[in-house]
Structure 1
Amino acid sequence: MRKRSRLPLKRIVCAIGWTIIGGTAHAQGSVTLYGILDGGLLYTSKTLDAATGQNAGHQFSATDGGMSPTQFGLTGTEDLGAGLKARFKLESGISIMNGGFNNSNGNMFGRQAYVALDSPYGTVTAGLQFSPFFLAIYGTDPRGFSQFGSGLELYVDNVLGTGAFNANGISWASPDIYGFRGSVMLALGGSAGNFQAGRQYSASLQYENGSLLVNAAIYSGNSGGTVDTPVPSTLAYWGRTLGATYKFGIVTAKLQFVNYKVAQSFNSNIYSGGLDCYVTPQLDLNGGVYFTSDRNHTANHSIMGALGATYSVSRRTSLYAQVGVVDNHGAMDTGLSLNNALYGVQGTTIGASAGIRHTF
C-alpha cells in the first residue's frame, strides 16, 4: 500500500499564509472584511393584521436591525498605477435573530456586488449597486435612514427594494469639480427583445461648500425584466428629490422633499426636516418629522415623528434608544419600523426601539 506523506499542519498554514501574502504584495492591493451587527427590542401600540388590514393589537418583539441593517461584506482595491485603481465590493444582509438573509432581497450578496474602476475622470461601476437617487435621499434624510422612524420606512413602504438594489447596473460618478459631484446610472432589465422591461435609470447632482450641502436626484424604473429577487426590485415608479443640510457648530439641520409616483398606486409627496446634534463625541441626539400626502387623493396622508439617542461605549460598540409616533389617515399605511412594523394602520400608533450595535 502506498503511504501518503504527512506535512505538519504548522507548515501547511505557513505555506498558505506566505502564498496569500506574496500574492497580495505582488498585486499591490488589499481585501477587507467589514460588517454591522444590530439587534434590539421593538414595541408598537398597534400592529397591522395582514389578513384583515385591521389593528391586531400592540406588539413587543425582538428585532434585527433596529437602527442599522445587519450586514457583512468584503471590499478590496488594487492600485493599477497612472492614477487608476480597481475596486470590488460583495455585501450581504443577514438577520442575527435567525441567521437568515435580511435587508438584501434574500440573495447571497443581495445588497451590493460590483467591480469598479477609479480614475482622475471619475468612477465607473458595474454590477448590483445603490442608485444615485437612493444615495441622495440617504445623504439628506433627517434621521440618517435609521431603520426606525425615518425616511427609509417611507422609501420601502412606497417602492420596496426598487432603486435601492439595482441589478445589471452600470454607473459613472464624477470627481469633485469646485464642490460639484454628479452621478448617472443605467440598469438593464435583462429581457431579450425588450430593452424597456425592467429598465432603470437614475441621476444625481450634489454641491458641497463648507457647512452647506445641497443635492437633487431623479429615478425612473419600469416593471418586468428577468431580475430574480424575493422582494420586487423592478416596480414601475418615477422618483425625484431635493435636499439640503447645514452644519453650525455641533448641530446639523436637514430639510428634504421626495416624490414617489408609483404606477396605479400612490403619488406621494414627502416633506421632512430635522436636527442632529453631537452633545459630546460619544452622545448623538437626533429628531425628524415627516409629512406624507398622496397627490391623487389628499385624504390619504400621514405624519410621523421620531427622536433617537446613540451613545458610543467604544469605537465599535454603541447603545441606542428611539421613540416615535405616526398618525395615518385614509388609505395611508406608514409604519414605524423597517422590520416587524413596516406598514401601519389608521389612526395613531406609538412605538419605541432600543438595542445595541457593533461594527467590525
Structure 2
Amino acid sequence: MVEKRRFARRKIVSGVVMMLFVSSAHSQSSVTLYGIVDAGLLYTSKTLNSQNGQNAGKQFSLIDAGSTPSNFGLKGVEDLGCGVKAEFRLESGISVANGGFGISNGNLFGRQAWVGLQTGYGEVKAGLQYSPFFLALFRLDPRGTSTFASGAIIYVDSVAATGVFTSNAVSYTSPVIGGFQGSVLYALGGQAGDFAAGRQYSADLKYENGSLLVDAAFFNGNSGGTGQTPIPTTVEFFGRTLGASYKFSSLTVKASFSSYKVAGSFSNDVYGGGFDYYVLPALNLNGGVWFTTDRNDTSNHSVMGAIGTQYFLSKSTSLYGEVGVVNNHGKMNTGLSIDGALYGVAGTTVGTVVGIRHLF
C-alpha cells in the first residue's frame, strides 16, 4: 500500500514537471531591469536670468545627465510561438543630483510605458513612446543627442518634450524590405467639444545599405487635450527632418536639415553636421556644428559647436568630457545643456562638462 502511494506521488510529480517543461517550450518569457546613472559637473561662462532675460554671470554646478539622461526601467518579452512575441517597456527618468524625476514628462514612468506585439509583418506598440520623428533626429545627430551641446538642445528649446515622450499613442513599424523601413504613429488627443485637441501624428522612412543611412521624418501635433503632463508634451508644431550618415570603418559622418514651425514662437530651420570616431575601441571622439535661423526673422539666429570624448573603463562605466560654444543673435536663446543651461543669452557663451556614466 505504501509502495502504491509512493508510485502515485512519483507520477504526480512527473506530470507536473512535464507540464512545466511543455509550458516553457511553448512560451519563453524574460524581464530585464536596466538603466543609466549619469552625473556631471557643468560650467558656463554666461547664465540666463529668468527674471529679466539678461546675463546672470558664470555658473559651476553638479547636474544630472551631463551626457545621457539618467533613467531606470523594466523591459520584457514573451515568445508566443509562430513568430509572434509580446513585449512591454516601463521607463522612468531620475535625477542623480536630487533623487527626483529626471528628464521625462514629470510622471513616474514618464519616458516610456507601452505594450506591444512583434510579428514577421512588423511591430505594433500602444502607450507612451518616442515618436518616429524624434528617433530619426537621434539617428542623424553626430553626438547622439547628448544632453550637452547637441541637436537635442535646439529641439527641447523649441518644443519642450513634445514628440520625445508621446502619450496615448499607437505606432506601427514595418519589417525591413530591400533596406527600407517605415514607422507611423498616431496619438489620440481630445477633450470635451474638441476632438482634435492634443492630437499628434508622425511618420519616418529610412533606408540602410551597409554603411549608408538616409532618413526622412515628420511630426504634426495640436496643442491641448486632456493628457497634459507636468512638462509640456503637446506644444503645437509641425516638424520635419532629412539627413544622411555614412560609416567609414570606425568613423561615421552625419549631416541633416530639420525644421520646427512652432505656434507663437520661432519657426526654426536647423542645419547640422559632424562626426563620431572611435580612436581606440575604448576611446570615442565626436563633434558637431548646428546653425539655427528663424524663418520669420532671420536676425534671430545662432551657431552652436561642440566636441566631446568618452573613455570606457569597462563595458558599463565610462568617463567623459565635453566642450561647447554657442553664439546667439537677436532674440535667439539657444543654450548649452538640457539640465542647468537649456536657454542662453545674447552673445557668446562657452561651457564644459565632465562626468561619469554607468549602465546597468
**TM score, norm. by length of structure 1:** 0.93
1:193, CA displacement in angstroms?
4.1
Q: Is the 2:250–2:278 Cα contact (8 Å) retained in structure 1?
A: yes
* Structure 1 position 144 matched with structure 2 position 144: yes
2:156 alignment partner AA: V
1:316 alignment partner AA: S
1:194, CA displacement in angstroms?
2.2
Alignment of 1:242-321 (within 5 A): 242-321=242-321
1:336, CA displacement in angstroms?
0.3
- 2:27, 2:340 → 1: CA distance? 45
SS of the residue aligned with 2:42?
strand
Q: Is the 2:27–2:81 Cα contact (8 Å) retained in structure 1?
A: no
- 2:104, 2:257 → 1: CA distance? 26
Aligned to 2:43: 43
What percent identity do the matched residue pairs reach? 63
Alignment of 1:98-113 (within 5 A): 98-113=98-113
1:322-359 Cα distance to aligned partner (Å, 9 max, x none): 00000000000000000000000000000000000000
Aligned to 1:69: 69
Aligned-residue RMSD, C-alpha: 1.5
1:148 alignment partner AA: F
2:153 alignment partner AA: E
- 2:211, 2:154 → 1: CA distance? 27
- 2:245, 2:32 → 1: CA distance? 31
1:93 alignment partner AA: G
- 1:197, 1:106 → 2: CA distance? 21
1:91-110 Cα distance to aligned partner (Å, 9 max, x none): 00000111000111110000
1:195, CA displacement in angstroms?
1.9
Alignment of 1:326-337 (within 5 A): 326-337=326-337
- 2:315, 2:244 → 1: CA distance? 29
Q: Structure 1 unaligned runs (5+)?
A: 1-20
Aligned to 2:180: 180
SS of the residue aligned with 2:281?
coil
- 2:28, 2:138 → 1: CA distance? 33
1:116-172 Cα distance to aligned partner (Å, 9 max, x none): 100111001000000000000000112110000000100100000000111000010
Aligned to 1:135: 135
1:192, CA displacement in angstroms?
4.0
Aligned to 2:123: 123
Aligned to 2:16: none
Aligned to 2:232: 232
Q: Structure 2 unaligned runs (5+)?
A: 1-19
- 2:221, 2:170 → 1: CA distance? 14
- 2:114, 2:249 → 1: CA distance? 37
1:78, CA displacement in angstroms?
0.5
1:27, CA displacement in angstroms?
4.5
1:199-255 Cα distance to aligned partner (Å, 9 max, x none): 000000000001100000010000010113111110000000001110112110000
Q: Is the 2:228–2:234 Cα contact (8 Å) retained in structure 1?
A: no
* Runs of 4+, deviation exceeding 4 Å: 24-27
SS of the residue aligned with 1:137?
helix
1:296-340 Cα distance to aligned partner (Å, 9 max, x none): 000000000000000000110000000000000000000000000
SS of the residue aligned with 1:349?
strand
Aligned to 1:14: none
SS of the residue aligned with 1:279?
strand
SS of the residue aligned with 2:54?
coil
- 1:195, 1:210 → 2: CA distance? 44
Q: Is the 2:190–2:196 Cα contact (8 Å) retained in structure 1?
A: no
1:265-324 Cα distance to aligned partner (Å, 9 max, x none): 111000001011000000000000000000000000000000000000011000000000
- 2:186, 2:256 → 1: CA distance? 25
- 2:228, 2:32 → 1: CA distance? 28
- 1:190, 1:98 → 2: CA distance? 35
Aligned to 1:18: none
The count of residues paired between Structure 1 and Structure 2 equals: 341
SS of the residue aligned with 2:156?
helix
- 1:190, 1:336 → 2: CA distance? 35
**TM score, norm. by length of structure 2:** 0.93
- 2:356, 2:142 → 1: CA distance? 21
Larger radius of gyration: 2
1:40, CA displacement in angstroms?
1.2
1:60, CA displacement in angstroms?
0.2
- 2:356, 2:162 → 1: CA distance? 29
Aligned to 1:83: 83
2:289 alignment partner AA: V
- 1:303, 1:336 → 2: CA distance? 11
1:242 alignment partner AA: L
* Structure 1 position 30 matched with structure 2 position 36: no
Q: Is the 2:128–2:165 Cα contact (8 Å) retained in structure 1?
A: yes
Aligned to 2:12: none
- 2:245, 2:114 → 1: CA distance? 29
SS of the residue aligned with 1:257?
strand
2:352 alignment partner AA: A
1:183 alignment partner AA: S
- 2:40, 2:124 → 1: CA distance? 38
